[in-house]
Structure 1
Amino acid sequence: MGKVIAFASGKGGSGKSVVAANLGIAFAKFGQSTLLIDADLSMPNLAILTGLKSTPVTLYEVLDRTKPVDQAIYKVYGGADIIPCGTSLEAFLKADMRGLKNVVEKVKERYEYVLIDTASGLNKYTLGGIKVADE
């Protein structure tokens, strides 16, 4: 069973997304199966930071259960996998972070590390990622 680590910060611009992306890529390069989850619903950046261009299925579709989690997993630089977050305002407004627990339960058996990039500040979106993490 994988270790689930959340990256959180009280303020935007602190570098948490950069740290999460680089740590995930480093783990993967050293042979550790790693999944990055962009749970920063308000300002998702992991897809950009990892060079991912096209993401037809994102965390939003998985949270609202219109698509299975496997369809939202993409391979990125260094061999890490990622579940990106979309940028739709409509999807953001109806997103329910309680579903993140189900997502993590489904994937943590397959990965040695699951790294969750949360939103900045202290709100329901940040807490959703922190609650499902081991660290």
Structure 2
Amino acid sequence: MLLRLFLMLLIAVPAQAETVTATRTIRANAIITDTDVVLSAVAVPNGYQRLADVVGQEARVVLYPGRPVLLDDIGPPALITRNQIVQVHFRGNGLEIVTEGRALERGAIGDLLRIMNLSSRATLFGQVQKDGTILVRQ
């Protein structure tokens, strides 16, 4: 009997879903702070439901006030900017080479970036590491 009553209460009370929305216009490449977003009582399928998931992330596109923050709209902050000189580590077949390169695009930890080796002018692809270096594997 108690189980039936409990199930009826669950069915009668709809779950409240909230979505994170922007409070002001946030430009692309800006870091989102806790004053930039609030929870609104609208359920959006591709939106964030927790403020903690959004605060500290970087806007990938312009976020407008009152609109929900979608999963593809934000990401981790970029460590590498375009044209920045970075340290490149090449590892392959038991060999490690460290040189300098120029980043040809922006990137965050784990992103695959195009870089240009400054000495050979060759274009390479490498993964951004936590310390801001680029790891090129063969």
Kindly indicate whether structure 1 or structure 2 has the higher relative contact order, using CA contacts under 8 Å at least 6 residues apart: 1
TM-score range, shorter chain: under 0.3
Q: Which has the higher helix share?
A: 1
Q: Which has the higher strand share?
A: 2
Provide the TM-score with structure 1 as the length reference.
0.20
Provide the TM-score with structure 2 as the length reference.
0.19
